[in-house]
A and B are shown apart, each in its own frame.
Chain A
Amino acid sequence: MTTAPQTIATLANREYPYGFVTEIETDAAPRGLSEDIIRLISAKKSEPAWMLAWRLKAYRHWEKMAQAEGEPTWANIRYGPIDYQDIVYYSAPKPTQALTSLEEVDPELLKTFEKLGIPLEEQKRFSGIAVDAVFDSVSVATTFKEKLADLGIIFCAFSEAVQQHPALVQKYMGSVVPYTDNFFATLNAAVFTDGSFCYIPKGVRCPMELSTYFRINAADTGQFERTLIIAEPGSYVSYLEGCTAPKRDQHQLHAAVVELIALDDATIKYATIQNWYPGDKEGKGGIYNFVTKRGKALGRNSKISWTQVETGAAITWKYPGVILQGDHSIGEFYSVALTNNYQQADTGTKMIHLGKHTKSTIVAKGISAGHGQNTYRGLVKIGKGATGARNYTQCDSLLLGDQCGAHTFPYIEVKTASAQMEHEASTSKIGEDQLFYCTQRGLAKEDAVDLIVNGFCKRVFRELPMEFAVEAQKLLSVSLEGSVG
């Protein structure tokens, strides 16, 4: 925490620090969406025929959806029409063939990731974290692959998994988020580019954090990543996702799909620190973050835990959820969503209790500042056969200033008499009283806001791997600069 004196005016004018653009030669598809473009993407990735077939099935379904009801409009967000023909669906830094070592990676790319603080060289610090670096539409490097492979762990780019591990991909892809799930998931199924694939074999506890870092660079592109994580019985993996994008005047669409499958006694912890370009102070530009993330706690005693810190993006629209199919399975959702300036968020979770004696925990913290609009939307659904199900939900909103908004839409559907549900909610402001108490003790106003907001988010930050908890705190602090004045 800094105590260096800085005026609020100076801080309020600080730029999003990741707004730079990397000048690099790219191989891009022509603008627009059509079956030809899909074939082009599939060819660029040297995909087998079955993958292309799946994409085309999804695309045809999307065309029908687009013509029929079009995009869903029920969310509490407002945005201009998206012209799906005005997007470049594939852009990759040249060369595009598979690289075997870091020496072959374009030095501009290495420099980019270094600037972003992402460790691609294994000898450097953070040696306990494996990184898959995705730049626009391709994965450019994956560290510790061999070391992990020694344990039977597969950690590679999704596009590589399609070629090297087709059986696993075919078995599980679409099993948690079918291509028909929703408008944006269907679009993703047709045009997905790259993401990560993780497979943890039976009984193995993954010895390091696995992470993917997504960097959007090219203009006018959309980012459609797809990630699949499979945890065999008795296994454990902790995974972290980070992302940033350059500052641009136009909005860019990020429509990702993440599927997690946990078998008997397996645990998957998935954390996200989302820092997409949020748009400028007037709300110009910024990423549309429309994401479908879902985990299936398939096995008995399986556990899936989502932790998210959403500070970026012009609009965030996502509900990481868990289908609690296995008996005694556990689902968790911890979230801090921040909306400042003109950002909007409609986010929450879906916990679907199907098995017996399942448990879910939801802790959602929304912070609204500036003209931000923050909505929590949560569904807890207890099926008829889900005897002994338990849910605890806590959703708290913190309002900074009087131009922002916080909204809550909890949905609770219970179809069994033996379920136990607890729901707590609160809305508060950082009062002038609290700020004065802090400043009277010698703390600068910005530090006081930091302190209070961190106290508010503590319960969620606790769930993050240690280094990322520190990063999340800093990120929140930077994102809130100038918001109380």
Chain B
Amino acid sequence: MLEIKNLHVKVGTHQILKGVDLKVNAGEVHSIMGPNASGKSTLAQVLAGRATYEVTAGEVLYDGKNLLEMAPEERAREGIFMAFQYPVEIPGVSSAYFLKAALNAIRKHRGLEELDAMDFLTLAKEKIKVLEMDEKLLHRSVNEGFSGGEKKRNEIFQMAVLEPRLAIMDETDSGLDIDALRIVANGVNGLRSPQRAIIVITHYQRLLNYIITDYVHVLVDGRIVKSGGKELALALEAQGYAWVEAEARTATPAKT
């Protein structure tokens, strides 16, 4: 579904991604871990289409199409969803109204009928129940006055309603307590499907105790330097990133 080839990304004068290669198929859950400033969030944002990042080399194919040429809303309508690390507030705009507008934009693109307010609310309430979240959230302004944990759970809720084909979770677990973590993980696990791919970006291994992950990749200094199965995550938890970084340094020098 997703093919990232030799991706180089710059922000201002700073080269952040220095040749990322990754292949993600439908039905798979990939975790991307790495030390701070390795470029994890950058990767997520570039896939979502944030304009502040400049792609200097490489390509990204989504269903064989050139993803980098697509506007963010186009990517969203084609089924890409990013759970933000720092979800922003939109005062005065109710969560229900916002999400209904988004869902209908995506449905329209897929040739489906748009949902009216009644049908949408029914759908939303169903999903919110599964996530053990409060229905009242629907009538609050988007993320306004939400605690950090509530914001993250709101991202998962939106993901559940929008049913993306490729979900990218940008450090969704940061700032969550164990209960919130469990709820988020359940939400993600509940979205696993043979048609869907999920990329989980995280700094800590602990989320991976709850989410079933197929592949683990380690991003160091703008490149994926090691890939493996779940055991890799456990090794990182036990030993930290230093050994991976050391391995990376002694291996073939980075392609420029």
Q: Do A and B bind each other?
A: yes
**Is A411 engaged at the interface, CB distance under 8 Å to the other chain?**
no
Q: Which of A1-23 contact B (CB under 8 A)?
A: 1, 3
* A436 contacts B72, C-beta separation under 8 Å: yes
Known: A440-B82, A455-B93. A445 touches B87 (CB 8 A): no
* B84 contacts A437, C-beta separation under 8 Å: yes
| Shortest Cβ gap from A427 to chain B (Å) | 13
> Using an 8 Å CB-CB cutoff, how does the interface string of B202-228 with A read, 1 for contact, 0 for none?
000000000000000000000000000
Tell me the dominant secondary structure on chain B's binding face: helix
Query: What residue of chain A has the Cβ atom nearest to residue B94's Cβ?
Result: A455
Choose among A3, A431, A441, A443 the residue that contacts B158 (Cβ–Cβ < 8 A): A441
**Is A250 engaged at the interface, CB distance under 8 Å to the other chain?**
no
* B93 contacts A454, C-beta separation under 8 Å: yes
Choose among A434, A444, A457, A459 the residue that contacts B73 (Cβ–Cβ < 8 A): A444
* A452 contacts B102, C-beta separation under 8 Å: no
* B50 contacts A436, C-beta separation under 8 Å: yes
Choose among A433, A445, A447 the residue that contacts B101 (Cβ–Cβ < 8 A): A447
| Shortest Cβ gap from A309 to chain B (Å) | 16
* A437 contacts B105, C-beta separation under 8 Å: no
In whole angstroms, how far apart are the Cα atoms of A445 and B71 in the complex? 10
Q: Which residues of A contact B102 (CB under 8 A)?
A: 438, 441-443
Number of A residues near B (Cβ < 8 Å) is 25
Query: What residue of chain B has the Cβ atom nearest to residue A436's Cβ?
Result: B50
Query: What residue of chain A has the Cβ atom nearest to residue B144's Cβ?
Result: A455
Q: Which residues of A contact B158 (CB under 8 A)?
A: 441
Q: Which residues of A contact B49 (CB under 8 A)?
A: 439-440
| Shortest Cβ gap from A432 to chain B (Å) | 8
* B48 contacts A440, C-beta separation under 8 Å: yes
**Is A392 engaged at the interface, CB distance under 8 Å to the other chain?**
no
In whole angstroms, how far apart are the Cα atoms of A447 and B108 in the complex? 15
**Is B9 engaged at the interface, CB distance under 8 Å to the other chain?**
no
**Is A456 engaged at the interface, CB distance under 8 Å to the other chain?**
yes
* B141 contacts A431, C-beta separation under 8 Å: no
Q: Which of B83-126 contact A (CB under 8 A)?
A: 84, 87-88, 90-93, 97-99, 101-106, 108-109
**Is B18 engaged at the interface, CB distance under 8 Å to the other chain?**
no
Q: Which of A422-471 contact B (CB under 8 A)?
A: 431-434, 436-445, 447, 451-452, 454-459
Residue from A3, A442, A456 having most chain B Cβ neighbours under 10 A = A442
| Shortest Cβ gap from A439 to chain B (Å) | 4
| Shortest Cβ gap from A445 to chain B (Å) | 7
* A439 contacts B73, C-beta separation under 8 Å: yes
In whole angstroms, how far apart are the Cα atoms of A96 and B101 in the complex? 51
Query: What residue of chain A has the Cβ atom nearest to residue B104's Cβ?
Result: A3
**Is B17 engaged at the interface, CB distance under 8 Å to the other chain?**
no
| Shortest Cβ gap from A410 to chain B (Å) | 22
* B101 contacts A455, C-beta separation under 8 Å: no
Contact-residue size bin, chain B (C-beta under 8 Å from the other chain): 20 to 34
In whole angstroms, how far apart are the Cα atoms of A442 and B100 in the complex? 11
In whole angstroms, how far apart are the Cα atoms of A437 and B72 in the complex? 9
Q: Which residues of A contact B91 (CB under 8 A)?
A: 455-456
Q: Which residues of A contact B128 (CB under 8 A)?
A: none
Query: What residue of chain B has the Cβ atom nearest to residue A437's Cβ?
Result: B88
* A441 contacts B92, C-beta separation under 8 Å: no
Known: A437-B84, A455-B141. A442 touches B93 (CB 8 A): no
Residue from B48, B75, B88, B162 having most chain A Cβ neighbours under 10 A = B88
In whole angstroms, how far apart are the Cα atoms of A202 and B42 in the complex? 69
Q: Which of A361-412 contact B (CB under 8 A)?
A: none
* B101 contacts A443, C-beta separation under 8 Å: yes
In whole angstroms, how far apart are the Cα atoms of A302 and B141 in the complex? 34
> Using an 8 Å CB-CB cutoff, how does the interface string of B36-56 with A read, 1 for contact, 0 for none?
000000000000111110000
Q: Which of A85-120 contact B (CB under 8 A)?
A: none
| Shortest Cβ gap from B241 to chain A (Å) | 29
* A442 contacts B77, C-beta separation under 8 Å: yes
Query: What residue of chain A has the Cβ atom nearest to residue B105's Cβ?
Result: A442
Q: Which residues of B contact A431 (CB under 8 A)?
A: 88
> Using an 8 Å CB-CB cutoff, how does the interface string of A289-316 with B read, 1 for contact, 0 for none?
0000000000000000000000000000
Q: Which residues of B contact A1 (CB under 8 A)?
A: 101
Q: Which residues of A contact B105 (CB under 8 A)?
A: 3, 441-444, 447
* B106 contacts A451, C-beta separation under 8 Å: no
Q: Which of B56-94 contact A (CB under 8 A)?
A: 71-73, 75-77, 81-82, 84, 87-88, 90-93
* B72 contacts A440, C-beta separation under 8 Å: yes
Choose among A439, A445, A451 the residue that contacts B93 (Cβ–Cβ < 8 A): A451
Q: Which residues of B contact A445 (CB under 8 A)?
A: 73
Query: What residue of chain A has the Cβ atom nearest to residue B87's Cβ?
Result: A437
Query: What residue of chain A has the Cβ atom nearest to residue B72's Cβ?
Result: A439
* A3 contacts B108, C-beta separation under 8 Å: yes
In whole angstroms, how far apart are the Cα atoms of A3 and B102 in the complex? 10
* B90 contacts A451, C-beta separation under 8 Å: yes
Query: What residue of chain A has the Cβ atom nearest to residue B52's Cβ?
Result: A432
In whole angstroms, how far apart are the Cα atoms of A437 and B76 in the complex? 11
Choose among B51, B73, B90 the residue that contacts A452 (Cβ–Cβ < 8 A): B90
Q: Which residues of A contact B48 (CB under 8 A)?
A: 436, 440
Q: Which residues of B contact A447 (CB under 8 A)?
A: 101, 105
Q: Which residues of B contact A457 (CB under 8 A)?
A: 92
In whole angstroms, how far apart are the Cα atoms of A452 and B101 in the complex? 13
* B93 contacts A443, C-beta separation under 8 Å: no
In whole angstroms, how far apart are the Cα atoms of A470 and B64 in the complex? 43
| Shortest Cβ gap from A86 to chain B (Å) | 45
In whole angstroms, how far apart are the Cα atoms of A405 and B102 in the complex? 31
In whole angstroms, how far apart are the Cα atoms of A432 and B109 in the complex? 24
Q: Which residues of B contact A440 (CB under 8 A)?
A: 48-49, 72-73, 75-76, 81-82, 84
In whole angstroms, how far apart are the Cα atoms of A373 and B58 in the complex? 45
Residue from B50, B73, B98, B104 having most chain A Cβ neighbours under 10 A = B73
Instruction: Please give 18 more A-B residue pairs, beta carbons under 8 A apart, in addition to A431-B88, A439-B76, A443-B73.
Output: A3-B105, A434-B90, A436-B48, A437-B84, A438-B98, A439-B72, A440-B73, A440-B75, A440-B84, A441-B102, A442-B76, A442-B162, A443-B102, A444-B105, A445-B73, A451-B93, A452-B92, A455-B93
A sample of 8 inter-chain contacts (CB < 8 A) reads: A1-B101, A439-B49, A440-B76, A440-B81, A441-B105, A442-B73, A444-B105, A457-B92
Q: Interface residues, chain A, CB within 8 Å of chain B?
A: 1, 3, 431-434, 436-445, 447, 451-452, 454-459
Task: Give the 7 A-B CB pairs with smallest separation, nearest first.
Answer: A455-B92, A455-B93, A442-B76, A441-B102, A439-B72, A442-B105, A439-B73
